[in-house]
Amino acid sequence: MKSKLVWITGLAGAGKTTVAKQIFNLLKGRFPNTAMIDGDDFREVFDNDLGYDMEDRIKNARRIVKMCRYLCCQDLNVVCATMSLYKEIHEFIYDNFENPLIVYLDIPIEELKKRNKKNLYSSGINVSGIDQNIDEPRHDSYVVKINNTVTPNVTVNKIMERLKIYGTDN
């Protein structure tokens, strides 16, 4: 398989990391040249040097895209789980990758507020989808849109089916 980017995005608490880990494990078993990047871990690697206002979020997302590109250029497949719900980031991905697969976990904000794993939705300050606008991915040929009516396993199966189109079943 030619190196591939699987970009999993959605608001905080949507299940990005859960889904990404399952996809990573499935791909890694068949393609040892597979890496995973998680947005929270990525921030930690850089000593959390950026905040959560819109400017810093976009700067961090650009860093992540560049790291993914760096890894893909070394013939690694990359599974990335990060929020990055900004049009300029989606366009940056489309411009820098051949056939990226963007998975948008489209969970209603009411459901995310119930989950509120990281207590982010309690403050309402610098919260994407609450006081910060987001842009949903729109490039139909690359986006798999998932909603909250499916389990993580169903989501993973849908993503793996989509990846077969790109030759991951060889």
- Which one of the listed residues 3, 84, 128, 141 is annotated catalytic? 84
Half-sphere exposure of 89 (CA within 13 A, CB side): 27
- In sequence order, the β-bridge partners of residue 104 are 9, 145
For the chain, strand residue ranges (E) read 5-10, 34-38, 77-81, 101-106, 143-147
Q: How many CB atoms lie within 10 A of CB 117?
A: 10
Residue 130 near residue 121, CB atoms below 8 Å: yes
Which residue is it, tokens 């791909």? 27
Residue 108 neighbours by CB under 8 Å, 6+ apart:
147, 148
Q: Can 3 be counted among the known catalytic residues?
A: no
DSSP annotation of 165 reads T
- By annotation, the residues acting in catalysis are 84
